[in-house]
Structure 1
Amino acid sequence: MNWMTNLVVMLQIVTALVMIGLVLVQHGKGADMGASFGSGASGSLFGATGSANFLSRSTAVCAAIFFACTLLLAYISNERMMRPGQGTGTGSILERPATAASAPPATGAAQIPGAAEVPPPATVTPAPAVPTPAPATAPAVASEPAK
């Protein structure tokens, strides 16, 4: 079964690369539009483009093969999950019990390796409040006795 998966993956990669090349080589539909307005003659400006040529048919075939390979790989992946001896035998991840990796982390120093060697964090004491100075008063002016 492993050789079949490798073969399908390789076929999918080759098909994807060929499809990319075919799309890049093809001539766009609107490329002749500028030529029809002065410099050259275009067979059809907005009308039917005629029958599909070899490149567009090849692209469609490559797309169909790529889609079939994708579906086959999804089927093979699902079959691996449902084999006995791997997992619980159910295909849905929602039906499986939670594993230790998905459990919430344990708290407490006894369950964390090396936690006994780490000193506890220092407690921060608040700084003492700075006394606000009393408002400055103007010095008393001695009045001179009137003469």
Structure 2
Amino acid sequence: MYEILMIAFLVVALVLIGFIMLQQGKGADMGASFGSGASNTVFGSSGSGNFLTRATAGLAVVFFILSLVLGNLSTSTDESSNDFSDLSVPAEEQELPPADDKSESESEVPPID
């Protein structure tokens, strides 16, 4: 399930990037209003802006929903797979400093007078 959602997430992200790159900026509206090649566009003179705007908004909503679902699925997976305790060195293999056999009275620190 997670893999299918991840593939859908990547496809939606790529299509969203493509739709954003296809849109014209605000400065291009002035030239299109005087008829400079607007009849040669695929969607007509005003259809491309409306279609691309709605498609971009819809894809953005799907993108955010998939982001939330994938984030929720990735945090609610098996706890042992995300636990790093298996990476720690077992107690038998840890190097410990040698134990001192001295009593507290034989310590190297002189007593304070």
- TM-score of the alignment, normalized to the shorter chain, above 0.5: yes
- Residues 32-69 of structure 1, C-alpha deviations (whole Å, 9 max, x = no match): 44x49xxx738xxxxxxx9x601011001111111111
Gap runs ≥5 in structure 2: 36-45, 99-113
Note closer, same or farther for the CA distance 1:30–1:106 as it changes in structure 2 (3 Å cut). farther
**TM superposition shift of 1:78:** 1.2
Larger Rg: 1
Instruction: Give the structure 1 partner of residue 88 of structure 2.
Output: 100
**TM superposition shift of 1:107:** 7.7
Instruction: Give the structure 1 partner of residue 43 of structure 2.
Output: none
Q: Which amino acid aligns with 2:56?
A: T
Please report the TM-score for the alignment, with normalisation by the length of structure 1.
0.44
Instruction: Give the structure 2 partner of residue 57 of structure 1.
Output: 54
Q: Larger relative contact order (C-alpha < 8 A, sep ≥ 6)?
A: 2
Residues of 1 paired with 2:70 and 2:58: CA distance? 18
Instruction: Give the structure 2 partner of residue 69 of structure 1.
Output: 66
Gap runs ≥5 in structure 1: 43-49, 111-147
Residues of 2 paired with 1:72 and 1:13: CA distance? 14
Q: Which amino acid aligns with 2:22?
A: V
Residues of 2 paired with 1:61 and 1:32: CA distance? 23
- Specify which of 11, 15, 21 is matched with residue 12 of structure 2: 15
Give SS of 1:27's match. coil
> Aligned residues, how many?
82
Quote the RMSD (CA, aligned, Å): 3.8
Instruction: Give the structure 2 partner of residue 41 of structure 1.
Output: 34
More helix by share: 2
Q: Which amino acid aligns with 2:34?
A: A
Instruction: Give the structure 2 partner of residue 142 of structure 1.
Output: none
**TM superposition shift of 1:24:** 0.9
Residues of 2 paired with 1:61 and 1:54: CA distance? 11
Would you identify which runs of 4 or more consecutive aligned residues in structure 1 move more than 3 Å? 105-108
